[in-house]
Amino acid sequence: MLRSSHLKYCYGILISLFIFCDTASGDLIKVDKNILEDANLITPDLIKKYGYPAETHKIQAKDGFVLTAHRIPKPGGQPVLLVHGLLDSSVAYVILGPERSLGFLLSDLGYDVWLLNTRGNRYSRKHKRYHRYQPQFWDFSFHELGMYDLPAAIDYILARSKGYERIHYVGHSQGTTSFFVMGSEKPAYMKKIKLMQALAPVVFWDYIDSPIILTFVKYLRPLVFIANSFGIYEFPPENEVWRSLIQKICSFVFQNTCTYFLMEVMGVDYAQFNSSLLPLFTGHASSGSSVKSLEHFGQQIHSGGFFKYNYYSSWENRRNHGADTPPQYKLTNVDCKVALYYSKNDRLTSDKDVVRLRDILPNVVLDYLFPDPLYNHINFIWGNDVKTVLNDRIIELMRKVDNGEV
């Protein structure tokens, strides 16, 4: 088994050679200094840069993980919890600055804003028993996020929100998946949710048609086996090294190539993507998760349902699930108010799959399919017009719920 230091060395040599070969005959791209500054600030420092107060809170989950939540405090304000997607972090809801990002907009309106970092990302890499170089540390998927991370965060927030018994919740991508796990398995927590707003909800994956994702899933098990054989349980491995390298590659050398790849994964929509901000996005993106998380998502593709993790043997499934095959999550238990926002050009969640989810959930108060046929998965966070086409709509629905109009 290769040690992580050896892996880091190998990756460094390969990427250095790759960069050298392609930059020998090309000029480096110039990037605005303010964008580079924002790309290298951690979330609380980015919040403070724009004149807002920022706090860092440590939340212990019941299984030993220590989570980091960033807060834009508003004492006495209605608490709202914003949860990022896979490989993302708390920066998702502040990355575009005060004029467009949801976290800042909600703070301006008097909401007490909490930005959670789920286990395994760059801000939440501590455990009471395990170190990040132990396989046990990475033995989680979106299931554990729903079973442990979200309940711990909700209880922590409510304990510090005098006069409030419920929170608003907004999740993007995996931030919706984990919520539906929590609602299915811990339905009592639905009484603590005033409104859940799901941005690009990922639950069913029967109509996904991304060539990249489908190719990955075809070789899912052997790829996971090979990764684990080399001691790789984190994705991407040695995440901080990869994140820095990817930012430099995509910022100064291969902006067009990186943009093309991103569009192929998320859905092609160049009109909503500001390529000049690519250094900012890559500076914060790929914040890390587990290989098991990718595997669990992969298992859902064309599975016909929303299933718990499928172990490698029926014996393991019986030990963990009480049956030879993993059971489905009970989505009918998610009885809080839910708003769904989705699009036709999202290559990570099909509008047909979201419609299926809508028909199962018992209390959908808004079903919003974007009229823009090109709106994609990442536009919900990075889109040029995200304030006017999405965030203003989110805020208006929160206002109506707060006022008892919905």
Please say if the pLDDT value at position 23 is more than 50.
Answer: no
Give the mean pLDDT of 240-247. 75
Please say if the pLDDT value at position 192 is more than 70.
Answer: yes
Whether 346 is catalytic is yes
Give the mean pLDDT of 70-86. 97
Question: Who wins on pLDDT, 254 or 57?
Answer: 57
> Backbone dihedral region of 97: left (phi > 0), alpha (psi from -120 to 50 degrees) or beta?
left
* pLDDT at residue 69, rounded to an integer: 98
Q: Which of 85-89, 97-101, 273-277 has the lowest mean pLDDT?
A: 273-277
Q: Kindly report whether the global pTM for this prediction surpasses the value 0.85.
A: yes
Bridge-partner residues for 67, per DSSP? 59
- The top-scoring range by mean pLDDT among 7-11, 234-238, 308-312 is 308-312
Surface-to-core class of residue 36, CB atoms within 10 Å of its CB (0-12 exposed, 13-18 middle, 19+ buried): middle
* pLDDT at residue 8, rounded to an integer: 52
Instruction: Say what percent of the chain tops pLDDT 90.
Output: 79
**Out of 38, 269, 346, 353, which one is annotated catalytic?**
346
* pLDDT at residue 173, rounded to an integer: 98
**pLDDT (tens digit, 9 = 90+) per residue, 357-381?**
999 999 999 999 999 999 999 999 9
Q: Tell me which residue has tokens 């790929």.
A: 286
**pLDDT (tens digit, 9 = 90+) per residue, 127-141?**
999 999 999 999 999
Instruction: Quote the tokens at residue 5.
Output: 């230091």
* pLDDT at residue 12, rounded to an integer: 54
Please say if the pLDDT value at position 13 is more than 70.
Answer: no
**Out of 173, 178, 287, 350, which one is annotated catalytic?**
173
Instruction: Tell me how far apart the alpha carbons of residues 120 and 87 are, in angstroms, rounded to a whole number.
Output: 9
Q: How confident is the model at residue 294 (pLDDT cuts 50, 70, 90)?
A: very high
Q: Is there a contact between 35 and 264 (Cβ–Cβ < 8 Å)?
A: no
Q: Which CATH number fits domain 30-403: 3.40.50.1980, 3.40.50.1820, 3.90.1310.10, 1.20.120.640?
A: 3.40.50.1820
Mean model confidence pLDDT for the chain: 91
* pLDDT at residue 251, rounded to an integer: 75
Please say if the pLDDT value at position 253 is more than 80.
Answer: no
